[in-house]
Amino acid sequence: MPKVLRADGMNKCIGCFTCMLACSGVNRQNYSLSKSAIRVKTSGGLQGKFISIVCLACRDERACAEACPSGALEKRPGGGVIFKAQRCIGCRKCETACIVSAVHYDEEENKPIICKHCGVCAKFCPHECLRMEEVDNDL
């Protein structure tokens, strides 16, 4: 069964940013916060709560993929999308289409950064904020 990332334990988040450094490191081979597909931030300074902004793994209809004019975003079995970089023209339509702002943008590469539900961040989250869930194939 396919798996998708669930960031539903964010109340336990300590703001260590290990997930972001791991996503950028493993998926982009960069030391970076900007290249991560998951963004952790505070709502209202450090005295506020930590929240994460990452792909929710939409099923059936994916707004980002619908908005893509060049077919660079394919439906991923179970939820979310698979990004085909060679087809992407850098129009940024997916970025605005995602209403949870989970399509981040790599200004250097001029390409979107979209979670591929690989689970690396969940593996390195020390406080069980992130987990992988098995889901049915919706395709």
Binding stretches for other proteins (CB under 8 A): 14-18, 21, 24-26, 28-35, 39-42, 45-47, 108, 124, 126-127
Q: Output 16 or 132, the one with its CB closest to other proteins.
A: 16
Half-sphere exposure of 32 (CA within 13 A, CB side): 17
Q: Output 76 or 83, the one with its CB closest to other proteins.
A: 83
Q: Least distance to ligand SF4 from the beta carbon of 67, Å?
A: 9
Contact indicator for 73, 114 with CB cutoff of 8 Å: yes
- Residue 108 and residue 71: Cα distance in Å, rounded? 22
Using the rule CB under 6 A, which residue among 6, 17, 95, 106 binds ligand SF4?
Answer: 17
- Reference 127, options 11, 34, 2, 1; nearest CA is 11
- Residue 111 and residue 68: Cα distance in Å, rounded? 12
Q: Which residues bind ligand SF4 (CB under 6 A)?
A: 5, 13-19, 23, 27, 37-38, 40, 50, 52, 54-56, 58, 62-64, 80-81, 98, 100, 102-103, 114-121, 125, 127, 129-130
